[in-house]
Amino acid sequence: MSLNLCADVLLLHLARPEQIASLTFLAATSPLSPVHDLAAGLPINHGSAEEVIALQPDLVLVHRYSNTHLVNALEDLGFRLWEVESPDSLESAAAQMEALALVLGNPERGKQLAGQLRQLPAGSEPASNTSPVVAVYGPNGMTTGAGSLLHDLIQRTGLRNFASQQQLPATGRIPLETLLMHPPRALVLSGEKQQQGSTLAEQTLQHPALRQMAGTLPTAHIPGRYWSCGGPEILEAGQRLRQLRTQLTAEGAP
């Protein structure tokens, strides 16, 4: 049973369907979920201790940032908990998958997916001081700096991350002005494409200044759901980054 969207993602990929007692309601409905298809039709919960008690699952997946009161209560009630983390590198994502697969009794499935992840940057040179700089820009100017999985992936693809150049933390914000003053070679837009403009945060992606800039730069769309949970969706993110890198090479970038 999972009480967190990221845990849902991993569970769906690593467990056999009959092992899954319940997922969060987000898995099948939230625009942030990358696993709509897999989650369809499975039983859901709303992340409360009551639901856990009612179901009496063998294992409860929580997230590092789950409500501590909830986690403590479940511990006191004697449930077996497993804490999912948001991985900070490709390696930690792979390791987490292997570990969870082992707990779930499907170690081969874990090894297989982890192996794919570890191979991901294959065919690319790691980034050097001359590599082109790419800026990740999401709703509200959210970006991701050193110590994040996407940053790791960017580096391995032979690109430098704008956010880490600016000494921004793993989760940070780029003011539009900074972006315009130090224009990167390429953009990675991490908003959900189909939803743009419906919130203020996403309106920042519609700002004329950004559109004007994006019009002149190679741009990849990699919504956060492809990389924020550390599931195998990273493969797709890696694919898109590699395309971007290829495009930049074709344009003569070092």
Partner 1 sequence: MTARHWLLSGLLFTVGTLFLLSLMSGRAELTWSVLFGNGQANAQLILWELRLPRSLLAVIVGAALGMSGAVLQGFMRNPLADAGLIGVSAGAALGAVLTLYSGLAALFALALPLGGLSGAALAVTLVYLLAGRDSSILTLILAGVAINSFAAALTSLALNMAPNPYAALEIVFWLLGSLAERSMEHVSLAAPLILAGMAMLMATGRGLDALSLGEDTARSLGISMPLLRLLVLGGTALSVGAAVAVTGSVGFIGLVVPHLLRPLIGYRPSQLLLPSALGGAALLLAADIAIRRMPTDVELKLGVLTALIGAPFFLYLLIRTRRQHP
Of 156, 157, 154, 150, give the one whose Cα is nearest residue 172: 150
Q: How far is the CB of 91 from partner 1 (least distance, A)?
A: 29
Nearer to partner 1, 124 or 148 (CB): 148
CA 215 from chain centre, in angstroms, equals 26
Nearer to partner 1, 77 or 209 (CB): 209
Q: How far is the CB of 64 from partner 1 (least distance, A)?
A: 19
Between strands 142-143 and 172-173, the pairing is antiparallel
Q: Does 46 bind partner 1 (CB under 8 A)?
A: no
112-151 mask for partner 1 (x: CB under 8 A)? Answer: ---------------------------xxx----------
The residue from 19, 30, 165, 246 that contacts partner 1 (CB under 8 A) is 30
Tokens linked to 2: 């999972």
Q: How far is the CB of 132 from partner 1 (least distance, A)?
A: 17
Q: How far is the CB of 155 from partner 1 (least distance, A)?
A: 24
The residue from 213, 222, 229, 241 that contacts partner 1 (CB under 8 A) is 213
Q: Does 108 bind partner 1 (CB under 8 A)?
A: no
159-198 mask for partner 1 (x: CB under 8 A)? Answer: --------------x-xxxx-xx-x-----------x-xx
Tokens linked to 152: 């790791």
Structural contact between residues 6 and 66, judged by C-beta atoms closer than 8 angstroms = no
Q: Does 31 bind partner 1 (CB under 8 A)?
A: yes
Give the C-alpha separation, 73 to 221, whole Å.
40
Q: How far is the CB of 182 from partner 1 (least distance, A)?
A: 9
Binding site for partner 1 (CB under 8 A): 30-32, 139-141, 173, 175-178, 180-181, 183, 195, 197-202, 204, 207-209, 212-213
